[in-house]
């Protein structure tokens, strides 16, 4: 099982609300080094933190990060984006592609690129940040991107198991960060999300369900579609 003590962690989107917390808590759990990656990296004033430029949508940027970070043992795909107004009918093709590039193709490309690096470590892990929106489409592009990422996590978990890399998916509803600043609903603190994510990772959990919203939506998948989507009639019109 991967432990964070002595590990070398790479966090994408490390300047964001959850990203900052993942960097700090990885260090608190004994990580030897954390690559805090961002499109515009900040100073961390901690010798254990290596700021690294990484745009998850840019293949050259990913190649450069892999070349510089050949000692990574834990990859955290945290970077993500959402759009304020998000319905598939209203968004432009380009907007939908932007969301998919950041939330799906980026983490997939990073996982593929870092897999050989992770394989060189006796214990290694990938941590992917999902949402209950992986399971319920309350937004258009964002939900689709998190559903696709969840599926990719499931594939990578099986594909990377033979090389000893654990793949863990985190599902969290609203979180108190910039991404959800316009949302007026209960939110989990990024501190709690990072803490539960790392507990799950270190316990060898394949999935971390952070909050009741995520647990409830997952349970709801076994029921009728119209229960998940009350705006629908109980049966599709003939
Ligand atoms: N907040 C929520 O309610 C919530 C709920 C469930 C899941 N999540 C997920 O949690 C993760 C962290 O989000 P957050 O809540 O911490 O939001 P946040 O504060 O907005 O942070 C998102 C980070 O992702 C970075 N990012 C966006 N596009 C990028 C790119 N192309 N390359 C590299 N970095 C990029 C942003 O960088 P810049 O600073 O350069 O813009 C930002 O630092 C995301 O995957 C999000 O989808 C959030």
CA of 18 to the centre of ligand 1 (A): 8
pLDDT of residue 233: 85
- Provide the pLDDT confidence category of residue 200 given band limits of 50, 70 and 90: very high
Domains of the chain: 8-228 (3.40.50.720)
DSSP conformation letters of 140-188: SHHHHHHHHHHHHHHHHHHHHGGGTEEEEEEE---BSSGGGTT--S--B
Averaged pLDDT of the chain: 97
Looking at residue 82, the DSSP 8-state letter turns out to be -
Mutate to test the pocket of ligand 1, among 10, 11, 12, 13 (most ligand atoms within 8 A of CB): 13
Does residue 180's CB lie within 6 angstroms of at least one atom of ligand 1?
Answer: yes
132 Cα nearest atom in ligand 1:
6
87 pLDDT above the threshold of 80: yes
Can you tell me the distance from the alpha carbon of 149 to that of 136, in angstroms, rounded to the nearest whole number? 13
Report which of 210, 205, 214, 116 is spatially closest to residue 168, judged by C-alpha positions. Answer: 205
Per the CB < 8 A criterion, the answer to whether 208 and 196 are in contact is: yes
CA of 162 to the centre of ligand 1 (A): 30
pLDDT in tens, 23-50: 999 999 999 999 999 999 999 999 999 9
1 pLDDT above the threshold of 80: no
Burial of 61 (0-12, 13-18, 19+ CB in 10 A): middle
Report which of 191, 160, 195, 162 is spatially closest to residue 177, judged by C-alpha positions. Answer: 191
Number of Cβ atoms within 10 Å of the Cβ of 211: 19
Does residue 129's CB lie within 6 angstroms of at least one atom of ligand 1?
Answer: yes
Three-state SS at 51: strand
214 pLDDT above the threshold of 90: yes
Mutate to test the pocket of ligand 1, among 12, 172, 177 (most ligand atoms within 8 A of CB): 177
Does residue 98's CB lie within 6 angstroms of at least one atom of ligand 1?
Answer: no
Verdict on whether the full-model pTM lies above 0.85? yes
């Amino acid at each position: 099982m991967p432990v964070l003590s002595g590990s070398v962690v790479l966090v994408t989107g490390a300047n964001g609300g959850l990203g900052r917390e993942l960097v700090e808590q990885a260090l608190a759990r004994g990580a030897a080094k954390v690559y805090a990656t961002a499109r515009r990296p900040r100073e961390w004033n901690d010798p254990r933190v290596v700021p690294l430029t990484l745009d998850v949508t840019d293949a050259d940027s990913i190649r450069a990060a892999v070349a510089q970070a050949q000692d990574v043992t834990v990859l955290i795909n945290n970077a993500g984006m959402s759009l304020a107004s998000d319905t598939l009918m209203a968004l432009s093709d380009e907007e939908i592609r932007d969301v998919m590039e950041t939330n799906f193709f980026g983490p997939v490309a990073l996982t593929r690129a870092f897999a050989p690096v992770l394989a060189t470590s006796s214990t290694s892990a990938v941590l992917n940040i999902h949402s209950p929106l992986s399971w319920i489409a309350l937004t258009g592009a964002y939900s689709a991107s998190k559903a696709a990422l969840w599926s990719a996590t499931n594939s990578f978990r099986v594909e990377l198991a033979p090389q000893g890399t654990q793949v863990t998916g985190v599902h969290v509803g609203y979180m108190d960060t910039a991404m959800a600043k316009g949302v007026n609903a209960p939110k989990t603190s990024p501190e709690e999300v990072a803490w539960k994510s790392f507990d799950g990772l270190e316990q060898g959990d394949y999935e971390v369900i952070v909050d009741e919203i995520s647990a409830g939506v997952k349970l709801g998948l076994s029921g009728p579609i119209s229960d998940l989507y009350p705006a629908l009639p109980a049966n599709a019109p003939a």
